[in-house]
Chain A
Amino acid sequence: MAELKLTNLDKAYGQVKVLHGINLHIEKGEFIVFVGPSGCGKSTLLRCIAGLEQITGGTLEIDGMVVNDVPPSQRGIAMVFQTYALYPHMTVYDNMAFGLRLAKFSKDEIDRRVQNAANILQLTPYLDRLPKALSGGQRQRVAIGRSICRDPKVFLFDEPLSNLDAALRVATRIEIAKLNESMPDTTMIYVTHDQVEAMTLADRIVVLRGGYIEQVGAPMELYHRPANLFVAQFIGSPAMNILSATVSSVSDSAIEVDVAHAGKASLPFGADAGLTGKSVSLGVRPEDLYITPEGESALITGEIDIVEALGEVTLLYVRMPGHEEAIIAKLSGDVQVERGDTISLSAGSNVLHLFDADGASILRAQQKAA
């Protein structure tokens, strides 16, 4: 129900700055996911939005109103914590009703809302239990229920699944997705370091690193057109292979590059002629590599170091001379190779990514200029 606008938002603890001028516009009803490595500031950003951390500089607007100094309870938000944060001395019912009682709702209204939330999350049989008598998944559902009761404009999730075991994590993730569908007007902001959660849940993903936003975009956009090397390597598993290369020629419709210690590649888009002779990074995703057929020139040739057969797919770690890190290739599960074999790999020209010396995507730079 609410749109959020973050303008030049800063957060510092004393001298240490952890968020640097965050600008972000979140539309009504959007599901936004903040991802990034540990310590990138994603949780801090969420806590700034919640009001649990004081904003050092810039503004945060909810529905056009600056809320920098509005206490958390009046921002129309609800938050689900990683550790559930249930009140251990209250029953499930009282946990969900606590905020409503403080807000002086009538008894009937409280009961209606709690029963409703309990229905949605199948918690009705547990309303009289204390949190310690519940399993981890049930506790997290209670925490979500507590948030639903508040009927918030903005729903905040702070790594809600990281304390659950793998099977429960998938089930709860699907429940959160369903919840999002059933509350189309509620804006949701979700923090995670798990890219699977980010890719499956998000309308838009915000990738953070070191307190800066690296890229904002739909999951598939981030996957297909990463703005820079960091996003390219962060999204996708296993991570994208990066090869150092030199641009040999540039035309209006193609860029030719020489990959160091390997073959040549051609990318089907133009660039500034000044790029010729510059050193660049060529990115290729493991799943885009295939064994070079007869008569085609290979992009990469190397010795297989490790073979990981996972059944449906096989991961190959290929050692290429002059290249420190192993190249990872994700091939179909029935590929017949062994450790120590020499292998040639190619990739289609339209799936290659090219980054300049600073790590910025050359394709995106072209699109922006056009």
Chain B
Amino acid sequence: MHPALQGLITIVVGVGGCIGYFYLSNVFVDKVLFPASGPQAGRNINRANMVRPWLFLFPAIFALGLYLAYPVLETLRLSLTDRDAGGAFVGLANYKQMAQEPKFWEAMRNNMLWLIVVPAAATAFGLLSAQLTDRIKWGNIAKSLIFMPMAISFVGASVIFKLVYDTRPAGEDQIGVLNALWMSFDGGVFSTLFLRLLPAAILLGFAAFVLYGVYLIVRPLISSEASRGGGSWWAAPLRVAVGLGGAWLVFLSLRSVFHLFTATLPYGDPQTWLTIPYWNNFFLMVVLIWIQTGFAMVILSAALRGIPEETIEAAVIDGANPFDIFFKIKVPQIMGTIVVVWTTITLVVLKIFDIVFAMTNGQWETQVLANYMYDKLFRANDWGVGSASAIVIMLLVTPILVWNVYNARKEMR
């Protein structure tokens, strides 16, 4: 049979089957099970109305149960058994074994790195591009371009960036953009400018930016204003934590500036970017940031437009400069949306698999949890440890998921 015909038949049978189920089951309840006639008509109508929602929800609940709830339970069971022993119950042995593997802790560390960098960078770039494209004529074109990577699959994006990071032996033409750029540096004035001064300026700018943010967040703790206004019990520790995190970022960027000027750079040698340990993680993260910035921008742009214009005008009259307006008036008003965007990207990051799988497959210290699970489950055929790592991923995702749904529902109200 022709495949198109098969597809058509599938659609007809599928849709027809659904309509048929809803129609016939409804008829069954109304006419056969609880007929709205006879001596108990009133009671039957009430009962039919109580049964009906469950009847209509049944297909969805059944499908979700079969494809989501059952696999979770089965994975949990598998993570407590051993395949080599014929599926015997082994308690937490798989988890113990996993905890002793350096590759697992490497994956955990990398996942944490991804978790910190990607949502923060994607949200920050998204917010920045949303704000910058808001008032300009060609803003919509710029937005379309920034949003376009959303339409590319993770694997497709990985292929694109593999080409960007591509390496050819010295002497041949470099087809990777990054190496082509790199090869044009030779230690002269321009190299100093672009490889030392410019990055140093960017890093210092970033450090100043973070420092200002830390100052804004920590200030209420230092001044007496903390005593007044909506401070919950968790506000102070949260401010301290965010402040410390920011201070750490400032320290990192200042240290990097120092390294920038002390490091000797291998001019003229093409670099295999994806094999440089630790930093190759960041080259992989760039792919996801590139994709997710568009998502963050679209949502935050809508949120920025939702801010009442009068509050901004009132701030202008109050003497606020553009930075005050952005950080003290606009950002606090869309904080709920920022949190939702942030946590949504966090969920994507926790499950990150395709990019690592397609670009390095976890080699050169780039392993992440999802790829580790795939390795164990389908390459090593060790369902015990594989399922155990799957459970670990689920445990990490669940609280963020709950918080995300909670915040999204709050935003919708």
B320 at the interface (CB under 8 A from A): yes
Q: Are the C-beta atoms of A93 and B229 separated by less than 8 Å?
A: yes
Digitize A89-120: 1 where CB-to-B-CB distance is under 8 Å, 0 elsewhere: 11101100011001100010000000000000
**Cβ < 8 Å to B, chain A residues 56-94:** 71-74, 77-79, 81-91, 93-94
A128 at the interface (CB under 8 A from B): yes
Shortest distance from the beta carbon of A188 to any chain B beta carbon, whole Å: 15
Say which residue of B314, B329, B333, B335 sits within 8 Å of A79 (CB atoms).
Answer: B314
**Cβ < 8 Å to A, chain B residues 189-244:** 223-224, 228-230
Chain A positions within 8 Å of B230 at CB level: 91, 128, 130
Q: Are the C-beta atoms of B311 and A85 separated by less than 8 Å?
A: yes
A52 at the interface (CB under 8 A from B): yes
Shortest distance from the beta carbon of A85 to any chain B beta carbon, whole Å: 3
Chain A positions within 8 Å of B320 at CB level: 73, 98, 102
**Distance in angstroms between the alpha carbons of A71 and B322 in the assembled complex:** 13
**Distance in angstroms between the alpha carbons of A13 and B332 in the assembled complex:** 32
Shortest distance from the beta carbon of A284 to any chain B beta carbon, whole Å: 43
B308 at the interface (CB under 8 A from A): yes
Chain B positions within 8 Å of A82 at CB level: 310
Of chain B, the residue at the smallest CB distance from A158 is B310
Shortest distance from the beta carbon of B99 to any chain A beta carbon, whole Å: 44
The DSSP consensus for interface residues of chain B is helix
B399 at the interface (CB under 8 A from A): no
B324 at the interface (CB under 8 A from A): yes
Q: Are the C-beta atoms of B332 and A89 separated by less than 8 Å?
A: yes
Q: Are the C-beta atoms of B224 and A107 separated by less than 8 Å?
A: yes
Say which residue of A81, A91, A127 sits within 8 Å of B310 (CB atoms).
Answer: A81
Of chain A, the residue at the smallest CB distance from B329 is A87
Q: Are the C-beta atoms of A88 and B316 separated by less than 8 Å?
A: no
Q: Are the C-beta atoms of B315 and A98 separated by less than 8 Å?
A: yes
**Distance in angstroms between the alpha carbons of A109 and B112 in the assembled complex:** 47
Say which residue of B223, B317, B329, B333 sits within 8 Å of A73 (CB atoms).
Answer: B317
A245 at the interface (CB under 8 A from B): no
Q: Are the C-beta atoms of A73 and B316 separated by less than 8 Å?
A: yes
Q: Are the C-beta atoms of B314 and A85 separated by less than 8 Å?
A: yes
Say which residue of A74, A87, A93 sits within 8 Å of B314 (CB atoms).
Answer: A87
**Cβ < 8 Å to B, chain A residues 7-65:** 50-52
Chain B positions within 8 Å of A98 at CB level: 315, 318, 320, 328
B269 at the interface (CB under 8 A from A): no
Q: Are the C-beta atoms of A50 and B317 separated by less than 8 Å?
A: yes
Digitize B287-314: 1 where CB-to-A-CB distance is under 8 Å, 0 elsewhere: 0000000000000000000001011011
A83-B308, A89-B333 known; A102 vs B319 contact (CB < 8 Å): yes
Shortest distance from the beta carbon of B176 to any chain A beta carbon, whole Å: 46
Q: Are the C-beta atoms of B228 and A72 separated by less than 8 Å?
A: no
Chain B positions within 8 Å of A99 at CB level: 317-319
Q: Are the C-beta atoms of B311 and A86 separated by less than 8 Å?
A: yes
Chain B positions within 8 Å of A85 at CB level: 308, 310-311, 313-314
Q: Are the C-beta atoms of A72 and B316 separated by less than 8 Å?
A: yes
Chain A positions within 8 Å of B318 at CB level: 73, 98-99, 102, 146, 150
Of chain B, the residue at the smallest CB distance from A87 is B311
Digitize A219-249: 1 where CB-to-B-CB distance is under 8 Å, 0 elsewhere: 0000000000000000000000000000000
Chain B positions within 8 Å of A78 at CB level: 317
Of chain B, the residue at the smallest CB distance from A95 is B314
Q: Can you show 29 pairs from A to B with CB atoms below 8 A apart? A: A50-B317, A51-B317, A52-B313, A71-B316, A72-B316, A72-B317, A73-B316, A73-B319, A78-B317, A79-B314, A81-B313, A83-B308, A85-B310, A86-B311, A87-B311, A87-B314, A87-B315, A87-B332, A88-B333, A90-B229, A98-B328, A102-B318, A102-B319, A102-B320, A103-B319, A107-B223, A107-B224, A128-B230, A146-B314
